[in-house]
Every structure is written in structure tokens, then in C-alpha cells.
Amino acid sequence: MDASAILHRCAERLGLDQVGTVSLPLDDHLADYLARDTSPCPFTPQDIRARTRPEMLLDGARSVIVVLFPYRTERETDPAANLSRYTWGRDYHLICTQYLDRLAARLATYFKGDRFLPVVDTSPLPDRYLAYAAGLGFFGYHRCLINPRYGTYVAIGGLITTVVFPAAVPLRRSCYACGRCLAACPGQALTATDFDYTRCKSYLTQKKGDLTAEEIAIIRKNPLIFGCDTCQDVCPHNAEAALSPLPEFAADHIRHIDATTLSAHSNRTFHAAYGDRAWAWRGKGVLLRNADYLADSPAGDCS
Ligand code: SF4
Ligand code: SF4
């Protein structure tokens, strides 16, 4: 059995059916691509060399195994939710890292002496680009990766490894160009060619400090106090997308948290209660601020 066949067999036994590989070093095209983004979101690491060199994270790295983790567990949106869908279950960093650790342990029994380093959105690497390079999807106008089976509702993780895997072939597809995400975006942050993170509600719900009147108006355009699912919810590529086969994403949901509950916590008890939630990383103050903006919203703003 060749290396790719071993990888896919190990992954399928864990329920992971969207797995691809990228050879190292990464293509020079990636550095050019990242350098063209002259106004990257502050949550994105700025050091292009670190972003394009997985070898800096694992000495002797030869490949990156990229894994998609579908998190959509039901078709409908939940009108009572005020937290983004990707945060309903336990923090995806925790779930994905557990899967990647198990995948690495299985692979280590075949590739003795080789090393595997799990990364989930916490390294400088451009995970969406790696997923594209690994043949796992293509990009829509909303800038999300679109996987042909699971749509955009996927978290991305990887294993940097010393094992040599063949490079996958990227999908030569584009989105339907229907324009729905552009029209529905609460901040008008999207065009067919550009994305202005400063007008993206998902970014603004995580930005610290007092927001401007214009930013508050964007927050008030839908009921979420953390994140924004609008461009994904309207995208036709998600209409028939499969639900997640991974049970961890369906368990232990918290979809809504109100200001009274948040206010009752000290910072210590907040992190003790919700430290395993992706929406808790900015602390309770930012969530309370957003809840206040929405509570003060003129009737109908969130419709
Ligand atoms: S997440 Fe929301 S605000 Fe950001 S681009 Fe998508 S629709 Fe616009
Ligand atoms: S909503 Fe339409 S334009 Fe936007 S990414 Fe999806 S298919 Fe493309």
C-alpha cells in the first residue's frame, strides 16, 4: 500500500473523509498571493515567511496533511441562536486536535520514525489556501472554502509531517457567482474581487473596545453576538451540503447566551464555565458589549 492509501485508510477509520496532501516547500505563488493582501485582518499572522514555511514549525517537514472537519449538524438555521453555528458545540480547536492526534498515532504505526505536528488555526499557516492546494475545495465570493460534499461549513486542520506524500491537484472550479452573499452581507464587506474585513460583522463582534456608530449598525443587522453566518447561509453551495458525520459537533450545544447570564459571571467563573467554547476566547466583556448593542437596536434592525 502506498503512502496516500495508508493515509486515507487511517483517516476513514476515524470518520474523516476529506483529506488531502500538499508537498513542501510550498509553491512560490503562495507568498505572492499573500503579499498582495495589503490589508490583512489583524487576527491573521502578518509574517509572510512564517505563513509559507511549515518547515519552520517542524524540522525536516516534507508534506502537510490537510483535513476538513464538517461541523454542520442540521440543515435549518436556528432563529433562537445568537452564537455563530461553528461555535455551537465544544471549541473546534479541541475537537479537531483530538482527531489529528488520533490520526497521527495511527500513521505513526506505519511510518515509524517519522513525525507529525497537529495544527488547527493556531499556527501562522494559511489553512484555507492549504485546503485548496490539497484539492479539498475552491473559493466563493464570500472568501470561504467550498468543499463539494460539505459546502462551507468546515473547520480546517492539518498535520505537518516528515512523510513524503504526493501533491494533490487543486480543484479547477469556481462558485456559481450568484451574488447572494454580496447582497446579503450586513456590512457590504464583499465584492466579487475584494473583501474589507473592517466591515465584516464576524470581525467586528470580536474587535475590542467601543465601536463606531457605523460598526454598531453592522452588528445590529443580524442577531448574533459572536460571528456572522449570513454569507454561508445564503450560499447555494450549502443548500444540499451533507451534514457532519462527526458526532462531537452535534453534542453539548450552546447556541444562545443572554446578557443576564454573562453579567452574573466574574471573568474567572466565565472562563471556568465556557473555556471550552470558541466564542469565549475574547472574554465576556466583548460579548456583553455586543449584546448591549443588539438590545438597544431599533425594532426591526435584525430582521
Ligand atoms: S461573515 Fe457576515 S459580515 Fe462577514 S463577509 Fe460574511 S456576510 Fe459579510
Ligand atoms: S452566494 Fe453565490 S456568489 Fe456568493 S459564494 Fe455562494 S455561489 Fe458564489
Cβ atoms of 290 and 225 within 8 Å: the answer is yes
144: amino acid identity, one letter: C
**Which atom belonging to ligand 2 lies closest to the Cα atom of 178?**
2
Of the chain, the end-to-end C-alpha distance in Å amounts to: 55
Q: Tens digit of pLDDT for each residue in 219-271?
A: 999 999 999 999 999 999 999 999 999 999 999 999 999 999 999 999 999 99
Q: What secondary structure letter does DSSP report for 63?
A: E
- Domain check: are 229 and 115 in the same one? no
Predicted TM-score of the model (pTM): 0.94
Tell me whether residue 152 is in a domain: yes
Q: Tens digit of pLDDT for each residue in 79-102?
A: 999 999 999 999 999 999 999 999
- Domain check: are 114 and 204 in the same one? no
Tell which residue, 143, 233, 236, 127, has the closest CA to residue 196: 143
Asked which of 103, 134, 161 is the last residue of a domain, the reply is 161
Q: How many domains does the chain have?
A: 2
Tell me whether residue 247 is in a domain: no
pLDDT at 125: 86
Please tell me if the CB atom of residue 186 comes closer than 6 angstroms to any atom of ligand 1: yes
Tell me whether residue 281 is in a domain: yes
Respond yes or no on whether the N-terminal peptide bond of residue 25 is cis (omega within 30° of 0).
yes
Does the pLDDT at position 2 exceed 60? yes
Does the pLDDT at position 298 exceed 70? no
- Domain check: are 289 and 188 in the same one? yes
pLDDT-derived band at 300 (thresholds 50, 70, 90) equals very low
- Domain check: are 259 and 151 in the same one? no
Here the cell at position 6 is: 495508508
Asked which of 101, 128, 161 is the last residue of a domain, the reply is 161
pLDDT at 59: 95
- CA distance readout (Å), 193 to 57, 112, 141, 185: 32, 46, 7, 15
Asked which of 128, 161, 194 is the last residue of a domain, the reply is 161
Measured by CA distance, the residue closest to atom 8 of ligand 1 is 185
Measured by CA distance, the residue closest to atom 4 of ligand 1 is 200
Where is pLDDT greater, at 39 or 46? 46
* Closest ligand by atom to 236 CA: 2
pLDDT at 49: 77
- Domain check: are 27 and 141 in the same one? yes
pLDDT-derived band at 24 (thresholds 50, 70, 90) equals very high
Q: Which residues line ligand 2 (CB under 6 A)?
A: 140-142, 175-181, 234-237
Tell me whether residue 166 is in a domain: no
- Domain check: are 61 and 112 in the same one? yes
* Closest ligand by atom to 184 CA: 1
- Domain check: are 202 and 138 in the same one? no
Tell me whether residue 169 is in a domain: no
Q: Element (H or E) spanning 53, and its range?
A: none
Helical spans, DSSP H, in the chain: 3-13, 28-35, 48-52, 92-110, 127-133, 180-184, 201-204, 213-219, 230-233, 259-263, 267-274, 284-295
- Domain check: are 40 and 95 in the same one? yes
Q: Tens digit of pLDDT for each residue in 184-216?
A: 999 999 999 999 999 999 999 999 999 999 999
Distance CA 23, CA 168 (A): 8
Query: At 117, is the secondary structure helix, strand, or coil?
Result: strand
Query: What does the pLDDT average to over 4-12?
Result: 98
Q: Which domain does 142 fall in, by range? A: 3-73+89-161
pLDDT at 303: 44
Tell me whether residue 61 is in a domain: yes
